[in-house]
Amino acid sequence: MKKKIRKISVPGDKSITHRAIIIGSLARGKTRIINPLVCDDTMSTVSAMRSLGITVLKEEKSLTVLGHGINGLKKPSYIIDCGNSATTMRLLMGILSGQEFDSYLTGDESLMKRPMDRVIIPLSQMGALITREGNAYHISGRKLHSINYTMPVSSAQVKSAIMLADLFAERNSVINDPGKSRNHTELMLDYFGKTLKGKKIIIPGDISSAAYHIAETLISPGAEIIIKNVGINETRTGFIDVIRSMGAQVQIKNKKSFANEPVADIHVRNSALYGTSIKNPVIPRVIDEIPLLAVLAAFAEGKTEIRDSSELRLKESDRINSVIQGLKSIGVNVSERADGMDITGTMPEDMQAAEIDSYADHRIAMSFLILTHIIPGLKVKNKECVAVSYPTFFKDFHI
């Protein structure tokens, strides 16, 4: 008899949800966002747009944004709090730079330590005036002009901030990306068209969330799942390429498209994994999944090297350090590099339970929480931070 394979779905994509809310707010008319990710980060974007005078209605499985067109934002009456979300802060800096009013952005302790010069420098070249004042950034709206800019690091947030600012300039900017950073802003601006008219958007499942299910399946004896309707934009599928190079049995099926974004089902089976080398050019396409790959590498035969990843030190925590501390505490042999690490595969029976520090970083917490059923007694400190990007994580993983 044919075995019935477990089918699951994951919440909507975080990057695409942010962009749908923001671009929907700049469009004229109603934008319906179906299957949005409702999490701490995207709710920071919702409340930011509300404080700029946009109505955002939250329904059971959708959001409705009532945009007033490109010049429809209002001066906020208080400081906008971006919480933990760098995407909210950086993309908003782009938009607010071109307004006729002043505004202030702040965020939590981790966000206020993240590098903002990477957006402030190109936006300043466009004519923006952004200054740090205590625990907030003051954005003094200005008339902007287009630029030709080469990003020193490949970053979708920087690229998007410039593209959004350019909507208030001559719409003529040229951005050179040293890597292949995610292109959701480009695809969504195309989808809304030159005149930015409100649209219906279905958000694909988040491949970064799907990655935790894929990883758990790969290392759980006999496991097999199909994850339905996951976004497979090639600027995001570095994780699939890397795990295939480690020996993962993974198939992409039923390809389709939602609002310009490619989508498919991902079928994965428990697989014998082997060490690999993870370095450029793949890094920008797998940047959020590197902590998880480091955990998977601990279950692979032989050595895995991770390089060209110093950007990880500038995320919600220093992810190179966070993941190394976690791996060491469960008994995995790992050595640190300035731009990555080397991990030696370890037999699961040689791993030990520990209380791992997530450093309040959602991706670190989830990367280790998937081991809960494999290493009995394993605990993760500050695990509630999963709500930053995947609020139903514990339910979906039966933890």
Q: What share of the chain is helix, strand, coil (3-state, %, to 5)?
A: 35, 25, 40
Binding mask 155-194 for ligand S3P (x = CB under 6 A): xxx--x--------------------xx------------
Contact flag: residue 288 with ligand S3P (CB under 6 A):
yes
Which window, 135-143, 150-158, 337-345, 352-360, contacts ligand S3P (CB under 6 A)?
A: 150-158
Tokens of 177: 């990306």
Q: How far is the CB of 157 from ligand S3P (least distance, A)?
A: 3
Tokens of 343: 């991990």
Could you give the C-alpha distances from 171 to 141, 148, 163, 175, 260, in angstroms and in order?
A: 17, 11, 8, 12, 21
Give yes or no for a cis peptide into 122 (omega within 30° of 0). Answer: no
339 as an active site residue: the answer is: no
Count the Cβ atoms, other than its own, within 10 Å of residue 250: 16
Tokens 């933990």 belong to residue: 84
Which window, 151-159, 228-236, 245-253, 379-387, contacts ligand S3P (CB under 6 A)?
A: 151-159
Contact flag: residue 360 with ligand S3P (CB under 6 A):
no
Distance CA 211, CA 218 (A): 10
Q: How far is the CB of 393 from ligand S3P (least distance, A)?
A: 16
Closest to ligand S3P by CB, 273 or 388: 388
Q: According to CB under 6 A, which residues from 64 to 103 bind ligand S3P?
A: 87
Catalytic residue among 41, 206, 288, 361: 288
- Tell me the site size for ligand S3P, rule CB under 6 A: 10
Closest to ligand S3P by CB, 208 or 304: 208
**Contact residue for ligand S3P among 189, 287, 366, 387 (CB under 6 A):** 287
Distance CA 188, CA 203 (A): 11
* 284: nearest Cα among 157, 154, 149, 159: 154
Q: How far is the CB of 39 from ligand S3P (least distance, A)?
A: 12
Tokens 């990710």 belong to residue: 37
Closest to ligand S3P by CB, 23 or 351: 23
Q: How many Cα neighbours within 13 Å face the side chain of 206?
A: 24
Contact flag: residue 237 with ligand S3P (CB under 6 A):
no
Beta sheet of 200-202, edge-to-edge order: 55-58, 62-68, 28-34, 200-202
Closest to ligand S3P by CB, 163 or 225: 163
Q: How far is the CB of 245 from ligand S3P (least distance, A)?
A: 21
Q: According to CB under 6 A, which residues from 7 to 46 bind ligand S3P?
A: 15
Residues whose CB is less than 8 angstroms from the CB of residue 127 and which lie 6 or more positions away in sequence, other chains included: 97, 142, 143, 144, 145, 169
Give me the active site residues, please: 288
Residues that bind ligand S3P (CB under 6 A): 15, 87, 155-157, 160, 181-182, 287-288
